[in-house]
Amino acid sequence: MNLTLKVWRQANPQAKGKMETYNIKEVSPDMSFLEMMDVLNEQLMAQEIDPIAFDHDCREGICGMCSMFINGEAHGPDRLVTTCQLHMRKFKDGDTITIEPFRAKAFPVIKDLTVDRSSFDRVQQAGGFVSVNTSGNTQDANAIPIDKHDADKAFDAATCIGCGACVATCKNASAMLFVSAKVSQYALLPQGKVEATDRVLNMVKQMDEEGFGNCTNTGACEVECPKGISLENIARMNREYLSASLKG
């Protein structure tokens, strides 16, 4: 396939970015989107042009690093896949593809397609954990029976990879789907109940301080989430937040 790529280039956080156009030839439909980007970068380096900076790590849908907005959609046109799992067979010979970074006030651009998502780390650090008290009498986790239904829902919430597609997709740049997944993965389990009140209050406070927008129930986040995180988690987080606020 021969393709035209329109890519966002921005030298640093302060620079004014712009779209640049590149042509790329003989792209195999079996390549992943990131492999196609690797080929483009080799081509650019051969021409002594600065290669395009983009985040990636696992390249198998686990780490959540490969944040790209492709043809106006976070992680591109496929569903339930990350950019690294997107294959070039989803495009046609002669296509023009636009590639931009995830855009949100809380995700400032570092360079080209790379954004700073440390705001997610700070939300997580505010309460997305269970403290382990090593008293010597710690109970084996498997000794506590957990309803299969709850265990499955907690597991589904825990599959959030923190990619930020929900924020990039939301017209309000809301992080509610991400934060609700991180709250829900503990809220459904007995291990998470001990710190539940502080967790939800602190995580929501941090989310607001980072400059994420409010949720207006458009549901776009759920559609674009590569892990199929359900809006049900946002409803659960709202219930947890109300109950914690009343206790507080």
Residues interacting with ligand FES, by CB under 6 A?
56-59, 61-66, 82-84
Tell me the site size for ligand SF4, rule CB under 6 A: 14
The residue among 27 and 165 lying less far from ligand FES, judged by its C-beta, is 165
The residue among 32 and 119 lying less far from ligand SF4, judged by its C-beta, is 119
Residue identified by tokens 């997944």 is: 181
Q: Which of 34, 188, 229, 234 binds ligand SF4 (CB under 6 A)?
A: 229
Alpha helices, H only, 126-231: 148-158, 165-169, 176-187, 190-193, 196-209, 220-224
- Least distance from ligand SF4 to the Cβ atom of residue 181, Å: 5
- The item of ligand FES, ligand SF4, none sharing an interface with residue 57, based on CB under 5 to 8 Å by kind, is ligand FES
Question: What x/- string results for residues 152 through 191 when contact with ligand SF4 is judged by CB under 6 A?
Answer: --------xxxxxxx----------xx--x----------
The residue among 128 and 162 lying less far from ligand SF4, judged by its C-beta, is 162
The residue among 3 and 212 lying less far from ligand SF4, judged by its C-beta, is 212
- Least distance from ligand SF4 to the Cβ atom of residue 97, Å: 21
- The item of ligand FES, ligand SF4, none sharing an interface with residue 63, based on CB under 5 to 8 Å by kind, is ligand FES
Query: Which tokens is 73 given?
Result: 């959609």
- Least distance from ligand FES to the Cβ atom of residue 163, Å: 7
- The item of ligand SF4, ligand FES, none sharing an interface with residue 166, based on CB under 5 to 8 Å by kind, is ligand SF4
What are the residues whose beta carbons fall under 8 Å from the beta carbon of 44, sequence distance 6 or more?
22, 50, 51, 52
3-state helix, strand, coil in the chain (%, to 5): 40, 15, 50
d(CA 52, CA 150): 43
- Least distance from ligand FES to the Cβ atom of residue 89, Å: 18
- Residues 154, 188: contact at Cβ < 8 Å? yes
Count Cα neighbours of 64 within 13 Å in the Cβ-side half-sphere: 17
The residue among 116 and 150 lying less far from ligand FES, judged by its C-beta, is 116
HEC sequence for 50-112: CCCCCCCCCCCCCCCCCCCEECCEECCCCCCCCHHHCEHHHCCCCCEEEEECCCCCCCCEEEC
Q: Which of 134, 151, 133, 130 lies closest to 142, judged by CA?
A: 151
The residue among 35 and 232 lying less far from ligand FES, judged by its C-beta, is 35
- The item of ligand SF4, ligand FES, none sharing an interface with residue 65, based on CB under 5 to 8 Å by kind, is ligand FES
Strands in 96-100's sheet, in edge-to-edge order, are 18-24, 3-9, 96-100, 69-70, 73-74
* Residue 56 binds ligand SF4, judged by CB under 6 A: no
Give contact residues for ligand SF4 (rule: CB under 6 A).
Answer: 160-166, 177-178, 181, 225-227, 229
